[in-house]
């Protein structure tokens, strides 16, 4: 760890959005997961969510490892469990889904706590997901194809959320509480050390202003 690297980590963490996230429902193709997480990192998502009965998300060996370093992923066993957890945290569920009540994705307010719900590559969101969602959004299409790849759709909607949040000043100051900030910063700066401390169930040591681990006196 160098002071310049540490400063970069803090600069990125200062802009993380704790109330903007995505929830994927049975998105299984590793390259799509990788691309979605890359977009999450780019717009400042702190933690992404996924529904996977197996309890984990597949990884794409080329790029997902890099994205997963910076975006946490919480996996839920069922859609209802995921929805309940997110709603308990104050999130509104917005599904990318074509329906009679669907709005243009640019007309939705993303400056409040929002979770973008994305369905599988083949069928999109399930009927259960569509019914659970608080709102549906669509991306206008002018061609013969009726929908975009799930990772492309995620990127477009997330960047609209970023545009709105930037205009509202939500990236201007750090929005994470002190404990989450300190924990995340240590894990970003020293992932191997952090893993050892977690295994030993010990609290992380403090870091000095240049990012070095403080030695207890």
Q: Check whether residue 87 and residue 140 sit in a common domain.
A: yes
| CA-to-CA dists, residue 40 to 64, 120, 156, angstroms | 12, 18, 11
pTM of the model: 0.89
pLDDT in tens, 62-77: 444 466 689 999 999 9
Q: Check whether residue 54 and residue 108 sit in a common domain.
A: yes
Its domain, for residue 100, covers 17-167
pLDDT score of 56: 57
Residue-by-residue pLDDT tens, the chain, 217 positions: 898 999 999 999 999 999 999 999 988 888 889 999 999 999 999 999 999 766 555 554 444 446 668 999 999 999 999 999 999 999 999 999 988 899 999 999 999 999 999 987 777 888 999 999 999 999 998 886 777 889 999 999 999 999 999 999 999 999 999 999 999 999 999 999 999 999 999 999 999 999 999 877 6
Q: Check whether residue 21 and residue 10 sit in a common domain.
A: no
| CA-to-CA dists, residue 58 to 37, 47, 55, 68, 83, angstroms | 12, 17, 10, 11, 21
Three-class SS state of 117: strand
Q: Check whether residue 89 and residue 186 sit in a common domain.
A: no
Total count of domains within the chain: 2
pLDDT score of 41: 97
CA dihedral 13, 113, 136, 44 (to 10 degrees): -10
Angle, alpha carbons 158-178-205 (nearest 5°): 115
| CA-to-CA dists, residue 211 to 8, 15, 75, 204, angstroms | 11, 18, 30, 13
Q: Last residue of a domain, which of 167, 190, 209?
A: 167
Q: Check whether residue 132 and residue 120 sit in a common domain.
A: yes
Q: Check whether residue 97 and residue 34 sit in a common domain.
A: yes
């Amino acid at each position: 760890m160098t002071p310049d690297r540490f400063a970069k980590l803090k600069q990125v963490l200062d802009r993380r959005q704790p109330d903007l996230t995505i929830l994927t429902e049975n998105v299984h193709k590793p390259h799509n997961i990788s691309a979605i997480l890359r977009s999450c990192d780019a717009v400042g998502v702190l933690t992404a969510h996924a529904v996977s009965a197996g309890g984990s998300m597949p990884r794409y060996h080329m790029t997902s490892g890099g994205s997963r370093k910076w975006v946490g992923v919480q996996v839920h066993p069922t859609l209802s469990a995921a929805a309940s957890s997110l709603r308990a945290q104050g999130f509104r569920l917005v599904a990318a889904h074509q329906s009679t009540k669907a709005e243009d994705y640019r007309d939705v307010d993303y400056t409040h706590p929002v979770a973008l719900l994305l369905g599988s590559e083949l069928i999109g969101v399930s009927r259960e997901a569509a019914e659970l969602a608080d709102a549906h959004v669509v991306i206008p299409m002018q061609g013969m194809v009726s929908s975009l790849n799930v990772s492309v759709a995620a990127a477009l909607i997330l960047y609209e959320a970023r545009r709105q949040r930037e205009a509202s000043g939500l990236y201007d100051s750090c929005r994470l509480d002190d404990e989450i900030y300190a924990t995340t910063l240590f894990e970003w700066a020293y992932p191997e050390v952090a893993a050892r401390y977690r295994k030993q169930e010990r609290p992380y040591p403090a870091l000095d202003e240049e990012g070095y681990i403080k030695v207890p006196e």
